[in-house]
Structure formats: C-alpha cells, structure tokens
Amino acid sequence: MGRTIRWARPLLAAAVLAAASGVALAAPASAGCEKQTYARFCDGPIGDDGKWNRCSVAYGAQTAFGQMIYPTTYSCYTVGPGEYPIHEPQYHIDP
C-alpha cells in the first residue's frame, strides 16, 4: 500500500500542474484559434485601427530518448492587414 501511494503522489501532482497550466495558457473566450501541425495561433478582436493581438504557441520537439531538440515557445504580438509574419495565417482568425 505504501509503495502505491509513494508513486501516485508525483503522478497526481503532475496531473494537477498540467491541468492548471492548460487553464492559465488558454486563449480568451473571445479569441479565434487555429491549430496547425507544429503551432497554434489565436487572434483577439479587431481594434479600431484594424489591428489585433495574435498569440502563438510553437510546439517543441524531443528525441526518442527524451532530449529536447527545441523547446515550446509562446509569444504574443500585434498584427494587422498586410503585416502577417511568414508561415502564419494570412488573415484574422475569427472566433
């Protein structure tokens, strides 16, 4: 019985941490999101100046042995018509 509890606690802690981070990193309800193969993009509402905030998550990768090739990255920035970064949706993502 003691062995089961000993390994279950770290597993439970990891599950709680993963759930909490998912809630903290979730896009606002008003955002429109688009998932691509290696990234996810979420756009906020369009402002009076025609621009909006876009947040992206570029998923990291690791080898079969668990070594990170590159980490997951998060960023938010302002974009507008004609200002789309390369390899990203070339339009506003509607909710």
Please choose, from the candidates 21, 18, 17, 41, the residue with its C-alpha nearest in 3D space to the C-alpha of residue 31: 41
Q: Which helix (H) or strand (E) holds 17?
A: helix 2-24
- CB within 8 Å of 74: residues ≥ 6 apart: 25, 55, 56, 57
CB 94 within 8 A of CB 45: no
Q: What is the pLDDT along the chain (95 residues), one digit of tens a residue?
A: 444 444 444 444 444 444 444 444 455 555 699 999 889 999 999 999 999 999 999 998 888 888 888 889 999 999 998 888 888 999 999 87
Nearest 5 degrees, angle CA 29-CA 57-CA 33?
35
